[in-house]
């Protein structure tokens, strides 16, 4: 949750959401509030079970995934579109993480809490997918004329547990952007 909060704050600070994409800043603020609420809920659940909360973004994930992705977004010819693509990948990853953990949680109440948070993450991904590919065309994933993956508001029957990819940065010699998984 802190990784998402820090990522949205970094995107806002990078000032890549301009023009029509500036509307996405309001969505990012709402998502930050949701992630802050999720972090507080998880801290309470962890503390109630004798655990010690880790109240910051995972530094390894930040250095290996978020920082390189943000660098690609900032240097991109289409930074606003790439910021949305990265946010979509981040929210999809969060939803799939919660979904994956639900099967491993034995305590019914804790499993329900994880499902509630995971469902909200999936809704975030849906909002972003519709911002990227509005309307009916953006409901299901697809591929473009070159065979590149297109996001969909409904990625699969139950949400994905597969690797989440985002194409970011300036197109290379082949015309394709770097794909992060």
Q: Are 70 and 166 in contact (CB under 8 A)?
A: no
Q: How far apart are CA 95 and CA 99, in angstroms?
A: 6
pLDDT digit string (tens) for the chain, length 181 residues: 999 999 999 999 999 988 888 888 889 999 999 999 999 999 999 999 999 999 999 999 999 999 999 999 999 999 999 999 999 999 999 999 999 898 899 999 999 999 999 999 999 999 999 988 999 988 888 888 888 888 888 877 666 667 788 888 999 888 889 888 8
Q: Is 170 left (phi over 0), alpha (psi -120 to 50) or beta?
A: beta
- Residue-wise pLDDT tens digits, 144-166: 888 888 888 887 766 666 778 88
For 57, residues 6+ apart whose C-beta sits below 8 A from its C-beta are 2, 3, 5, 6, 7, 66
Q: How far apart are CA 141 and CA 162, in angstroms?
A: 14
């Amino acid at each position: 949750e802190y990784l998402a909060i820090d990522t949205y704050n970094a995107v806002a600070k990078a000032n890549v959401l301009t023009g029509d994409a500036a509307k996405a800043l309001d969505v990012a603020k709402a998502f930050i509030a949701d992630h802050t609420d999720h972090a507080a809920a998880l801290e309470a659940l962890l503390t109630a079970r004798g655990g010690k909360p880790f109240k910051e973004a995972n530094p390894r994930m930040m250095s290996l995934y978020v920082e390189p992705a943000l660098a690609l977004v900032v240097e991109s010819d289409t930074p606003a579109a790439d910021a949305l693509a990265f946010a979509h990948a981040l929210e999809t990853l969060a939803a799939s993480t919660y979904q994956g953990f639900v099967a491993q949680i034995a305590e019914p109440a804790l499993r329900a809490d994880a499902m509630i948070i995971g469902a909200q993450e999936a809704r975030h991904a849906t909002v972003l997918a519709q911002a990227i590919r509005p309307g009916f065309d953006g409901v299901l994933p697809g591929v473009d004329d070159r065979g590149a993956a297109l996001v969909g508001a409904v990625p699969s029957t139950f949400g994905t547990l597969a690797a989440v990819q985002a194409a970011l940065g300036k197109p290379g010699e082949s015309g394709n952007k770097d794909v992060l998984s």
